């Protein structure tokens, strides 16, 4: 299956993409927030931990952490056959989808590549379903929003103006050529 990958770094045709969605430090913080949510203190402790992480200059954003923790919880509970986001390669089915994804990342992905997915059934989801929670809303409102839209995300539902992303297993996406925005 042909796809497009927006990258922060230059890549060579022929290379296989490996998951780099989480840096080890950010992954550690996401797991710490999840652990806090699992303890008796729950969401409040997780919020305080996320704020502490952010106040120490870490680039992890609290909304990002909660999105990923809640999405993974939903995936494991309701959609275990779907690939985990933290082990996937994110590619787009069209240049338009890759461009919309690039805009969401403040254009910090200057390189565009044509790729071939060597996997029979990669999962396609709508990124718009899980990036629109109002970060200024009360945390309970954000969680409700993400729980509702996370279910739709994992089902594969699309919004009226989707930003489609393909989650392919790490090591199954091969760069075939450079492309232009």
Residue spans of the domains in the chain: they are: 2-179
Query: pLDDT value at position 142?
Result: 77
Whose tokens are 């497009």? That residue is 4
- Residue 28 binned pLDDT confidence (cut-offs 50, 70, 90): low
Greater confidence, 52 or 5? Answer: 5
Query: pLDDT value at position 45?
Result: 56
47 Cβ contact list (under 8 Å, min separation 6): 62, 139
pLDDT tens for residues 79-90? Answer: 999 999 988 999
Q: Judge contact between 19 and 86, C-beta under 8 A.
A: yes
Residue 102 pLDDT greater than 80, yes or no? yes
Query: pLDDT value at position 151?
Result: 94
Residue 59 pLDDT greater than 50, yes or no? no
Within 13 Å of residue 159, how many CA atoms lie on the same side as its CB? 16
Stated pTM of the model: 0.81
Residue-averaged pLDDT of the chain:
83
Beta bridge partners of 174: 16, 116
Residue 119 pLDDT greater than 70, yes or no? yes
Whose tokens are 């913080």? That residue is 29
pLDDT tens for residues 134-154? Answer: 767 776 787 788 889 999 999
């Amino acid at each position: 299956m042909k796809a497009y990958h927006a990258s922060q770094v230059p890549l060579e045709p022929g290379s296989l993409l490996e998951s780099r969605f989480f840096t080890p430090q950010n992954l550690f913080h996401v797991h710490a927030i999840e652990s806090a949510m699992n303890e008796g203190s729950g969401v409040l402790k997780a919020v305080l931990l996320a704020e502490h992480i952010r106040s120490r200059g870490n680039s992890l954003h609290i909304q990002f952490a909660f999105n990923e923790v809640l999405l993974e919880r939903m995936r494991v509970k309701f959609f275990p056959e779907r690939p985990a986001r933290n082990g996937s390669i994110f590619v787009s089915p069209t240049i338009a989808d890759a461009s919309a994804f690039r805009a969401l990342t403040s254009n910090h992905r200057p390189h565009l590549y044509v790729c071939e997915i060597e996997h029979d059934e990669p999962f396609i989801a709508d990124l718009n379903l899980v990036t629109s929670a109002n970060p200024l809303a009360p945390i309970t409102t954000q969680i409700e929003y993400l729980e509702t839209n996370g279910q739709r995300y994992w089902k594969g539902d699309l919004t009226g103006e989707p930003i489609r992303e393909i989650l392919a297993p790490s090591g199954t996406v091969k760069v075939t050529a450079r492309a232009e925005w």
